[in-house]
Structure 1
Amino acid sequence: MNGPACFASWVDTATEPPQRLPDGIDAALAYMADATGHPVYMRWTLTLLKRGCPSLADAKREHPVVFALLLDHDAAIEYWERGRLRVVAPDRAPAPATVLLRLLKQHRRFRFAPDEPVTLATSSAGTARAAMTAVAISETASPWAGPAVWLAALTPGTDASDRAWLARAGRFANVSPVTNTLGAADDAQAVALFLRERASRSPHTLRAYLAELRRLIRWCDRHQLGPLSDLTRDNLLTYRTSLERTRRTTPATGTTRNQPAGLQATTRARALAVVSSLFRYWLRTGYVIANPAAELSGGAATRDSWTPSRIMPIKVLALCDAVVSDAAPDTMSALVWARRRAIWSLYRYAGVRLAELVWSEAEGLPRLDVDPQGQWTLHVLGKGGKRRSIPLPSVCVPALRVYRLARALPEQPSPFERVALIHSEKRDALGHSGLYDEVKAVLLAAEAQVQPADLTTLTILRAASTHWLRHGYARALVVDHAVPLPVAQTLLGHASVQTTAAYARTDLTQTRAFVEGSFPQRK
């Protein structure tokens, strides 16, 4: 292992039969990208970036970190390390062999066996390679290939026949290159391009889309239907009915039983929304000639029935606020403690989503500014790339000032300041997991001050997260202070005012007062 890397000494135990990796570095990287479902090592250039995007503006929006690096360097290296993709300049990137060997050692499905004989079935290997070629696009050919490798996680199984399930085109697929602007020849390519455009900007959205497409594919496989472009309106209506009668496992007994209610309403709505979005995208781009999923989902009805329930009571919030207002623990530096207080204050008093405090170098967001009257405003990049400005209450400002001074920054941000809002000790900015961990640390410290007999408060603190703070912020606006719904919608960044109005259903006090005032008691 200390000499030149021999990748053929590694065996992929998840295939049937097990097979060795290709010996060449490029072939081994391509194999690993397809097997793991994510890119492993890729060298970006401006030519390669422009090849998969209609314009530089699209390239900047879809690959902001890569685009920013290419402004100062001839190339940018994107590689996989410790469960995430990293993008660095070429002089700071590890060697491809180093990245690949590190991943092989960490992944359980790969085993180093240089002397162990491995039976390779030529026909099976050829079929697997053909199926993977039909499903995935080469990583080195174009940036469009990014979402294609996710299809390995999308198919119902891991063998070649399951992977080939998507590599077909049904009766409604449009084979004419004149009107098929998507340029896809089968469902595999069409799904890959759909995921790339609709789900590549958020790992949470991607995870949800993959889960729902897997659910539909498993259902089609059980009923011997498919491919997706072959499904009729009647097939999808039957699928919608099946979601309402899904067999679920009873935790107490481990047995399954039919429940008329099936999946929860929100889960069913999400499943149908993803399917509807897929076929709507295919119809708009000309991949299919008809949309069997038209009006399949009832999104508006779901929003009308949705009521937020994950809201921290005022006494629990006050307990957490008291923890944050204390002095820094002896085991923590003043800078790290000031950062934790600032993070808590922003999630507590700005109602932002978790990802909205993650620094974007390309957009220069999130950032703070102060107007001539000394009022602070937080600017973030919300869902769908929409910018949002959130006025910060005065109670939030002291923690931000202390944190900025601890970082050796001016007490107030300058108009043209371009620095990460929340710093990291290891890199420029704190990411999703770091921000989440800081909030959970506050909740854990508050939990230590609760009596063991107070099980309700302990349960809330253990389950709470950043989104609980967002729900609490929304409820304070809509219920406690009767902020007009359009204003609250703007502050929260909701796409629909119906989502904002749902918070009014969390408390009947205000509604009861309106009713009492409308029908006063007779004297």
Structure 2
Amino acid sequence: MSVDETSDEAASPLGEALAEFARHLGAERGLSPHTLRAYLGDLQDLSGYCATIGLTGPQELDVAVLRAWLARQHALGRSRATLARRTAAVRAFTGHLHRRGLIPDDPGVLLGTPKRGRDLPTVITQEQAGRLLDTVDATGPAGLRDLAVLELLYGTGIRVSELCGLDVDDLDTVRRTARVLGKGGKERTVPMGEPAARAVQDWLRAGRPALATEDSGPALFLGTRGGRLHPTSARRIVHDRIAEVGDVPDLAPHGLRHSAATHLLEGGADLRSVQEILGHASLQTTQLYTHVSAERLKQVHRQAHPRAAD
């Protein structure tokens, strides 16, 4: 919905106030078109709600009306993120009305802000990870590459962009470490297990030479035409190989990273070490995986404990 469309629909004092606020948002606050559309859509919904309960003027807006509208949004299944944005839009609107003298008090300041929920990442179990990696068809150059890609993503927890940026010399298969260039150009060394090191060695010995061309350069992983493997291709490899296994949830490469972090913590790794392995700038980001582990433990408890349902 555009500012002009909002202006055309102004057929009541509240509608006129909304149209004027739309012009204010577009001209004075410099919001992005996306945010402007979202705010105006939220407020148009509020205006429609007010019309259904017989309110036509901005002076009739009070905290009870606003809370009732937000409660209706919640009952309709709106997400926490949507509720938080709609609360922000209403606060901006009522604050503007108060500053313009159209309402004596600002009811928006009395609204609480819904906390944005953070979805827990989807992870696979350790058994599912083992089944995936143990059943990959590693015949031929592409098969050897795909197995090495999966083993490294899960075995090190690195990002798909980091994986595709690896050069041959970045891996030390003897010491079983990888030198990774992460976000912000920060370099870190991550450990990898024996299966990952073995898969990479097999790829380097019997797979990469078959795909390499004069233009391959030092890239560790190559596409079918010999160029550096692109993250899009790596994502397709993960999806396709998981689909071949069956009974394993479909994951993107980041899902294997989530799974690796969760399994490290489930195995007793300390949070700070996992932070270093993943390359997180903040420990708070890594703490998300402790909630994943707790959810998994609760699930096991619910399924196995005789009094879990009490």
TM-score, length basis structure 1 = 0.37
Matching residue of 1:9:
none
Matching residue of 2:204:
404
Per the TM alignment, residue 321 of structure 1 is displaced from its structure 2 partner at its CA by: 1.7
1:438 matched to 2:249? The reply is no
Quick one: structure 1 residues 261 and 433, their matched pair in 2 at CA, closer, same or farther if it must change by over 3 Å? Answer: same
1:394 to 194, 201, 205: 194
CA contact (8 A) 1:354 1:466 kept: yes
Letter in 2 for 1:492: L
Matching residue of 1:323:
135
1:258 matched to 2:73? The reply is yes
1:476 matched to 2:263? The reply is yes
Per the TM alignment, residue 221 of structure 1 is displaced from its structure 2 partner at its CA by: 6.1
Quick one: structure 1 residues 263 and 474, their matched pair in 2 at CA, closer, same or farther if it must change by over 3 Å? Answer: farther
**Inter-partner Cα distance in structure 2 for 1:265 and 1:366:** 45
**Inter-partner Cα distance in structure 2 for 1:485 and 1:267:** 32
Matching residue of 1:341:
147
2:274 to 485, 488, 492: 488
Per the TM alignment, residue 390 of structure 1 is displaced from its structure 2 partner at its CA by: 1.4
Identity, in percent, stands at 22
CA contact (8 A) 2:133 2:147 kept: no
Letter in 2 for 1:497: L
How do residues 79-478 of structure 1 correspond to structure 2 at under 5 angstroms? 169-170=27-28, 187=30, 214-220=34-40, 223=43, 245=70, 258-260=73-75, 263-265=78-80, 306=118, 308-324=120-136, 326-328=137-139, 334-359=140-165, 368-370=170-172, 374-405=174-205, 406-408=207-209, 419-426=218-225, 428-447=227-246, 457=247, 460-461=248-249, 463-478=250-265
Matched position secondary structure for 2:220: coil
Letter in 2 for 1:442: R
**Inter-partner Cα distance in structure 2 for 1:477 and 1:502:** 13
Quick one: structure 1 residues 504 and 167, their matched pair in 2 at CA, closer, same or farther if it must change by over 3 Å? Answer: closer
Matching residue of 2:292:
506
CA contact (8 A) 2:70 2:83 kept: no
**Inter-partner Cα distance in structure 1 for 2:176 and 2:118:** 33
TM-score, length basis structure 2 = 0.59
**Inter-partner Cα distance in structure 2 for 1:166 and 1:424:** 52
Matched position secondary structure for 1:464: coil
* Aligned positions, number: 232
CA contact (8 A) 1:308 1:506 kept: yes
Per the TM alignment, residue 436 of structure 1 is displaced from its structure 2 partner at its CA by: 0.8
Per the TM alignment, residue 470 of structure 1 is displaced from its structure 2 partner at its CA by: 1.2
CA contact (8 A) 2:126 2:263 kept: no
Letter in 2 for 1:444: A
Gaps of 5+ in 2: 8-22, 45-62, 90-112, 211-215, 299-310
Matched position secondary structure for 1:499: helix
Matched position secondary structure for 2:123: coil
**Inter-partner Cα distance in structure 1 for 2:226 and 2:2:** 38
Quick one: structure 1 residues 323 and 384, their matched pair in 2 at CA, closer, same or farther if it must change by over 3 Å? Answer: same
Matched position secondary structure for 1:378: strand
Looking at secondary structure, tell me which structure has more helix per residue.
2
Quick one: structure 1 residues 429 and 166, their matched pair in 2 at CA, closer, same or farther if it must change by over 3 Å? Answer: farther
**Inter-partner Cα distance in structure 1 for 2:175 and 2:24:** 55
Per the TM alignment, residue 366 of structure 1 is displaced from its structure 2 partner at its CA by: 8.8
Q: 1:211-238 CA deviation, whole Å, 9 max, x = no partner?
A: xx625433236648xxxxxxxxxxxxx9
**Inter-partner Cα distance in structure 1 for 2:286 and 2:297:** 16
Q: 1:431-456 CA deviation, whole Å, 9 max, x = no partner?
A: 12210111112111101xxxxxxxxx
Per the TM alignment, residue 318 of structure 1 is displaced from its structure 2 partner at its CA by: 2.2
RMSD: 4.4
Letter in 1 for 2:286: T
Matched position secondary structure for 1:476: helix
Matching residue of 1:68:
none
Letter in 1 for 2:270: P
Per the TM alignment, residue 378 of structure 1 is displaced from its structure 2 partner at its CA by: 2.1
Letter in 1 for 2:283: V
CA contact (8 A) 2:177 2:189 kept: yes
CA contact (8 A) 1:339 1:403 kept: yes
Q: 1:234-284 CA deviation, whole Å, 9 max, x = no partner?
A: xxxx9xx89x949xxxxxxxxxx7325854346767x69xx9xxxxxxxxx
**Inter-partner Cα distance in structure 2 for 1:156 and 1:338:** 53
Looking at secondary structure, tell me which structure has more strand per residue.
1
**Inter-partner Cα distance in structure 2 for 1:475 and 1:486:** 13
* Higher relative contact order (Cα pairs below 8 Å, separated by 6+ residues): 2
Q: 1:336-377 CA deviation, whole Å, 9 max, x = no partner?
A: 111111111111111122332233xxxx76962328xx2132
Gaps of 5+ in 1: 1-154, 173-186, 192-212, 225-237, 247-256, 276-297, 329-333, 410-416, 448-456, 512-523
CA contact (8 A) 2:160 2:234 kept: yes
Q: 1:463-518 CA deviation, whole Å, 9 max, x = no partner?
A: 3222221111111222222x22111111112232122223223345989xxxxxxx
Matched position secondary structure for 2:221: coil
Letter in 1 for 2:177: T
